[in-house]
Structure 1
Amino acid sequence: MIKTGAAMNDLFDGGRAKPQQNVTLIRSVHAGKTDKTSKHGTAKVNWIAGLIHSVEKVLLPDGSRTNAIERGMPEHEDWYYQKDGGECIYGHIRVREDDVVFVPRIDQPKPFLFPANSLPSQLISRTHACELARDEDFALKLYGALCAGVWIQEGRRWQGGWDKAARTVVEMRGLNEPYTKFLLGDADEREVTDPGVIDLMESLGWTLEIPDEETTKRTRDDKTKRALKLLDECERAPISDIPEWYMRRIMALRPGNPNDILVRINWTAFSGQMSFQNYIKFWELYDLDQLDKEDED
C-alpha cells in the first residue's frame, strides 16, 4: 500500500493539498503508470497505486469462478458478487500465491430500518412499488427523485439525504445490494420529474413540493457554501493512506487547475483527508448545475 503521508509530503503546504503541482504520483496514477496485474494460478489481480482495483476469475465457495465481483460497503471494505437469482453475497478477497479466493462474511448485512410510516417505509412495504424498483432504469429515476425532491403528505415533509435515498431503493429491490451502487452509480440526483415516479409517489399520497425560483436559488447558494466549507475543512485534515473506498472513484483523479472543484475533491479524497461520508455529503450539497456550467467553460 502506498502511504500518502510518506510519499507526498512535498505536495502540501500548511495542511492543504496542492493539486496544481501535478506531482509525480498523481501524474503516474492518471497516466496509468501505477497499473499492474499479478497472476495467481487461474486468477488475476489488477492494481492501481498499490491497491486492488479489480479481480478476475475469483474462486467462489461453490467451486465456480467469476469476474463479476465488485467492492461492497465502504464501512466494511468488503467485496460482493451476485448469485444467479440476483442476491448479493458479501465477503473479503484472499490473495494467495496460487489463487484468489472469495471468503463470505459470517455476518451478511442486515436490512436498513426506517421509522414506521416514513416515506421509505411506505415504499418498501408496497409490493407494487418494489416490483417497479426491480427495473434498473426505474430504480435510478426513483433514487434521483428521493435525492432531489421535497415530498409532502398531509402536512409532513420528507427530504432525505442521498444515502437514505440509496438505502431505500436497495431495500425495495430486495437483493441485498450495496447502497453505493446508486450513490456512486449513473443516476442523476437532480431527476425528480419522471412521470412513472410521480405516479407512484402520488398513489401513496405524496406530492412533490415545487419551491419558487427565489427560494430555490437561495437554497442552492446556501448549500454550495456549506459544501465548499466542508471541502476546505477536509483539505486541512491530516494526510493518510489512500482509502480503499476511493478505488471506485480512482479514475476521476487528475492533475489540473487548483480552483477546479473536481481536482480539489478527488485529490483530497485520494490523500485520505476525506471520509466516504463527507465525499457524498459534499456532492449532496454542491450545486451540480454550476458544475455543468464550469465544465462548459
Structure 2
Amino acid sequence: MTSEELPLLSGADIRRLADLLHLRPTKTLGQNYVIDPNTIRRIVNAAHLESTEHVLEIGPGLGSLTLGLLDRAQAVTAVEIDVPVAEQLPKTTEQWRPDSADRLAVIPADALKLTGDEIVAAAPAAAHGPPTAIVANLPYNVAVPVMLHLLAELPSVRHGLVMVQHEVAERLTAGPGSKIYGVPSVKMAWYAEATMAGVIGTKVFWPAPRINSGLVHFTARTPPATTATRTQVFEVIDVAFAQRRKTMRAALSAWAGSGAEAEELLVAAGVDPKARGEVLHVTDFARIAEQYHARTTP
C-alpha cells in the first residue's frame, strides 16, 4: 500500500480522540485540528520530503499530519505543548501505523522554550542526525516567533512547509516594496526564501477558524555576509519598523544618537536616508548594523 493509500484520521476519528481525552480545543493554544485526509496529503506533497529526512513537527495535536509525515519521512520529532495530547500521540501512532511507531518521538513542551540540542537529544533512534525539515500546522498566535526561534536553533533545517493564518503567510512571504512587508518578512529572509504554496479553507478544520490559512514553503539559505551578528541586525529591523511610516533617517535618529548621525550612518551603509524600511532588503539592514557597531565598538 502506497503512502497515498494509507488511511489518515477523519473528522470522526479526531472527535473520537478528543472525547477520549475530554479535550475541548482552545484559542489560547491555537487548537484547530485538520479533519480532512485529502488536505493532509496536500500538505505532505507540498513539503517535497525525501524518504531519508528527519522532520520536526510543531503542534501535532491529535496526529492528523503526523501520520502523513511518517508515511514520507524517515523520522519525525513532534513537539506538543498540551501534555495529555502529547501522551496520546504515540498510542494513536501505534494503532494507525504500528510499523512506524518507533520512528516517532514526542516532546511534551513549549517549542519556544526548547533548544536545538534538546530537540536533537529527544529524536527517535531512526533519525540519523538533526531535523532537516519543518512541517507543521502552527498555532496562529505564535507562528512567527516559533519559526524564527526554530530556524535560529536548528541550522540543520534545509526546508519546510508551515500552515499559518493567511495574513501571517502573506507577511512571511512579502518582499521589499509591498505594503505588508515588515519585521516578519525581513527576519524570515535572513534565514530562508519563503513563498506562498497555497490557501487552505476553513471547512477542513475542527473547530473551523474564522479565516483561511496559508501554506508557506521555505528553503534555507546562508544569511547575508556581514560582520554584524544576527541580534544586531534584528535590532535595526525592529527599530526601523517601530514607526514604519517614517523615513529611515527619522526612524533611526534616536537609536543612532541624532538625525545627523543616523543620516551619516545610512549614507555609509549605502542606504538612502529618505527611504522607508519597507523598501529595504535584509542585506541593507545588515550593512546598517555593520556600520553602526563598527562606529560604537571600542
TM-score (norm 2): 0.25
TM-score (norm 1): 0.25
